[in-house]
Structure 1
């Protein structure tokens, strides 16, 4: 059985992001959006929160998938980086 994949996007148009399994994409996307719906987080905080939420029911590298999907969500204008120091991620309102 062939796994359905999605071509993820990258915020830098000159770069190509990865093709990943749709089910993993949807799971990570839902978690990232859920986390950021509460408050803006730094990259480290966001990845740690994601890891804590999915580590028990996700097969694969949580950080790698988290980064790939985060970049895709940025490219799709669903999340944005703030100008704070340190930089944070938040939902685009």
Structure 2
């Protein structure tokens, strides 16, 4: 009997103080959503509330069909990207805005 290989997963953390739980998602989902977020933010800051719809447009239909909840995955991947320093929240009042962090 052939052994089933476990699908590679990515541990997604949150930058929030006092929250130390980790959500593990399939690597292909993380990579697809991360790439789409970076593509969207390449045009400049975006309101977090608009990010799921903008990401949806960037994802290939095959990935979109298999992904599940786009909003949930965008939130989960966005939080991990904040922890990694790949994106940041724009300071200020009003709706949460996110922007890409350019590395030197």
TM-score band, normalised by shorter chain = 0.7 to 0.9
The answer as to whether partners of 1:54 and 1:62 remain within 8 angstroms in 2 is: no
Q: For the aligned residues, what is the CA RMSD?
A: 1.6
Match of 2:69 among 52, 55, 61: 61
User: Which residue is equivalent to 2:85?
Assistant: 77
Match of 1:41 among 42, 46, 53: 46
Which 5+ residue runs of structure 2 have no aligned equivalent? none
The answer as to whether partners of 1:17 and 1:68 remain within 8 angstroms in 2 is: no
TM (normalized to structure 1)? Answer: 0.88
Which 5+ residue runs of structure 1 have no aligned equivalent? none
C-alpha displacement of 1:91: 0.7
User: Which residue is equivalent to 1:8?
Assistant: 12
User: Which entry has the higher C-alpha Rg, 1 or 2?
Assistant: 2
Cα distance change on mapping 1:5 and 1:90 into 2, 3 Å: same
Structure 2 CA distance, aligned partners of 1:4 and 1:13? 28
Q: Tell me which stretches of 4 or more aligned residues in structure 1 moved more than 4 Å.
A: none
TM (normalized to structure 2)? Answer: 0.79
